[in-house]
Amino acid sequence: MIMNGQKEWEKNNERFLATLNLEESDRVPIMDIVNNEKIRKIVETNDPLETNARAYSYLGIDITRDYWWHTDFMWFKNKFFEWMDVLGIKKEGWAIKTKAGTTWIDKRPFKNLDELSNMLPPEPDESKIAEWFIPYHKKTIEGYKKYGIVFVGNFEGPLTEAYMFTGYDLFFQAMFMAKNIVNKLLDVFEKWIMIRLKLWVEENMGDVVFLGEDIAFDKGLIFSPKWLNENWFPRIKRIRDFLFNKNIKMIFHSDGNLYPILDKLVFDLKIDALHPIDPTAGMKINEVKEKYGDYIALIGYIDCSHLLPFGTIKEIIEKVKETLYIAAPSSGYILGSSSEIHDAIPIENAKVLYETGRKYGKYPIKKVIT
């Protein structure tokens, strides 16, 4: 199962960077997240990081932003550790619950804006963050590299961190009734991400980072364009400018329908790539490719809500071929699911997704729509 480690990693990294630069390489890169118990059981070892790397290697995935995938480490559980033990948020009153293969916040220590105002996160402490961030990320990068897999630093944006901290309801209330709380939260979480990005750059951990900021859902933007322009965009622009000046590529992620803000993301923010082109929210890769394909790379799009869990092998093959023909000719597309390979996706369906990508993703790809 173990590949040529370093050599394979270099090839995958080169292909990845070429695609983000919109240059043709040997084949379409494959990037994804796997969170699937059936696959884990096949590759499991005592070491969660090793298990992760083996899963990606087993499926033929070149690149991931996944940390040490394990139910115990997933998303909020990981986030909880980071928030409490690294950022210094007090633990009392918080509770989490693991459901459907991931972990969610079950209880927060505040119920209203008054209580929240007394429990805002502290100012991030750079040395404390460095103490955790550097060894943890170096270990992760090396753990994957052994199996030839490129790890992309995964950072959640300040807005997502802020509304996850408060919960949607309270964050929305604060937007209208306590703007100082919103500003304070966004300030803290902007510092939190900037410190980690600086460490990522200083420690030369990689040429690409993944910035997740869920600002949309299936109906369109969660927040009004006006609010985003005034409160979010200047912050994300500062993050982008920092990365741009350090020659680091930025993949921007948001679920949902991003059409109303795509011009802004591509032409003002100058993102390098967009993920995941959410098909269930009405995003169409042919439209995005046609309008923005000369400026950004596209990542994902293969529907993991219905096609991958419930579709036939033939349907998956056809969709991957069609997507490659639309999005990949002359570079600019990285194959992957529209979110992750979750528990409802059969192993065979996941395997055929990547096998088809490797088979039909070799350059030159003819621009033929089946």
Partner 1 sequence: MQNDILKEIQEALLSMDMEKTLMLTKRALEQEFDPIKIIEDGLSSGIKRLGEMYENGEAFLPELIMGAEIMKRAVEIVKPELEKRKEERKKLGRVMLATVEGDVHDIGKNLVALMLWINGFEIIDLGVDIPAKEIIEKIRELKPDVLGLSALLTTTLLEQKRVIEELEKAGLRKNVKIIVGGAPVTEEWAKKIGADGYASDAVKAVYKVKELLEL
Residues that bind partner 1 (CB under 8 A): 97, 99-101, 104, 106, 168-169, 171-173, 175-177, 217-224, 227, 280, 304-306, 309, 342-344
Nearer to partner 1, 25 or 117 (CB): 117
Taking the complex as a whole, the smallest distance from the CB of residue 261 to partner 1 amounts, in Å, to 12
What residues are paired with 63 via a beta bridge? 31, 150
Least distance (Å) from partner 1 to the CB of residue 106?
7
Which of 147, 152, 153 is CA-nearest to residue 60? 147
Q: Among residues 219 and 291, whose Cβ is nearest to partner 1?
A: 219
Smallest gap from residue 115 Cβ to partner 1 (A): 15
Q: Which is nearer to partner 1, 78 or 102 (CB)?
A: 102
**CB of 207 or CB of 318, closer to partner 1:** 318
Strands 249-253 and 273-275: parallel
The minimum distance between CB 101 and partner 1, in angstroms, equals 6
Is the CB of 170 or the CB of 335 nearer to partner 1? 170
Smallest gap from Cβ 50 to partner 1, in A, equals: 25
> Minimum CB separation from partner 1 for residue 121, in Å?
21
Q: Is 84 or 344 the residue whose CB approaches partner 1 more closely? A: 344
Q: Between residues 159 and 273, which has the closer beta carbon with respect to partner 1?
A: 159
- Give the pair of three-digit tokens for residue 51: 């298990």
Measured between alpha carbons, how far is 288 from 305 in angstroms, rounded to an integer?
A: 20
Query: What are the E-state strand segments in 28-156?
Result: 63-64, 95-99, 102-107, 150-151, 153-156
Nearest alpha carbon to residue 110 among 190, 212, 178, 193: 178
Q: Which amino acid is at 13?
A: N
Between 179-202 and 233-245, two packed helices, what is the crossing angle to 10 degrees? 10
In the chain, the largest separation of any two C-alpha atoms, in whole Å, equals: 60
Closest separation in Å from C-beta 316 to partner 1: 15
Closest C-alpha among 194, 303, 275, 171 to residue 240: 194
CA distances from 92 to 95, 142, 166, 278 (A): 9, 35, 15, 37
Contact assessment for residue 214 and residue 169, using Cβ atoms and an 8 Å cutoff: no
What span, in angstroms and rounded, lies between the C-alpha atoms of 158 and 161? 5
